[in-house]
Amino acid sequence: MEQKIADIDRQHFISFEGIDYSGKTTQINLLQAFLQKKGYSVYVLREPGGTVISEKIRDILLDRNHHEMSERAEIFLYSAARVQLVSEKIIPLLKEGYFIIADRYVDSTTAYQGYGRGLDLEMVKQINSAATFGLMPSITFYMEITPEQAQQRRLESGAGADRLEGAGIDFYQRVFNGYKELIRKEPDRFRVINAMQSVNSIHKKIIDLLEDHL
Ligand code: TMP
């Protein structure tokens, strides 16, 4: 059955965005603990993933051997994973009163597939709207680091590159610029965080901004 989102309260639906190695996940874990202490039931979801089907799609997407994946196949796979996540988890959990923290959401598709891969932005917009049923977070924390800083962090971590991380610095520069453009277009939803500060000061900043928002 098709989802109806008009009567869903989005106040407790928040997302985190940023290029890889921006430190999103660390901050999400800290925020989850903070909100739980405050008495909220919190659910963290990562994209692509978060359901059995979406995790399987994630494996296809991030497989280093899938060099031949076309850009359109890529956007439809991310979006298929998202439809499943929104229908199976996000909508029902919001209705049950959960606080949802999304580790990436539809802005990642605009930044990576739209600006990064160069897919037509109008097409991306339509696919995104179909994949989310139009349901958007009430606030989005953008963890800002430059592609050079991100690359430095990856080298220091000693991690290998997955299929996307193999895409090179030019790709990440386009993604970075894409996020800037998104923030310019929706200044009310985005909160930009300097992700090069210490873990603790970032956490404090996020809490302040979130408390203002709630
Ligand atoms: P993660 O490393 O934050 O789990 O994200 C997985 C990768 O997938 C990351 O490189 C960003 C990319 N991605 C997209 O290209 N488009 C999307 O819509 C999403 C959600 C992620």
Q: Is 190 helix (H, G, I), strand (E, B) or coil?
A: strand
Give me the tens of pLDDT residue by residue for the chain, a chain 214 residues long: 676 788 899 999 999 999 999 999 999 999 999 999 999 999 999 999 999 999 999 999 999 899 999 999 999 999 999 999 999 999 999 999 999 999 999 999 999 999 999 999 999 999 999 999 999 999 999 999 999 999 888 888 887 766 556 678 899 999 999 999 999 999 999 999 999 999 999 999 999 999 999 9
Residue 87 lies in a domain: yes
Residue 162's pLDDT is 63
Residue 3 lies in a domain: no
Residue 109 lies in a domain: yes
- Amino acid 211 reads E
Domain CATH number, residue 197: 3.40.50.300
Ligand 1: centre distance to CA 103 (Å): 9
The ligand 1 atom at the shortest distance from the C-alpha of residue 105 is: 20
Residue 64's pLDDT is 86
Given a contact cutoff of 8 angstroms between Cβ atoms, the answer to whether 124 and 113 are in contact is yes
Residue 5 lies in a domain: no
Tokens 């097409």 locate to 123
Residue 208 lies in a domain: yes
The boundaries of the domain holding residue 183 are 10-213
Residue 159's pLDDT is 77
Give the DSSP H or E segment for 169.
helix 169-185
Residue 151's pLDDT is 87
Residue 2 lies in a domain: no
Residue 180 lies in a domain: yes
Domain count for the chain: 1
Ligand 1: centre distance to CA 80 (Å): 14
Alpha helix ranges (H) inside 8-146: 24-37, 52-62, 71-85, 91-95, 106-108, 121-132
Ligand 1: centre distance to CA 102 (Å): 12
Atom 13 (ligand 1) nearest CA: 108
Residue 1 lies in a domain: no
| Ligand 1, pocket residues at CB < 6 Å | 20, 46-48, 78, 104, 108-109, 112-113, 164
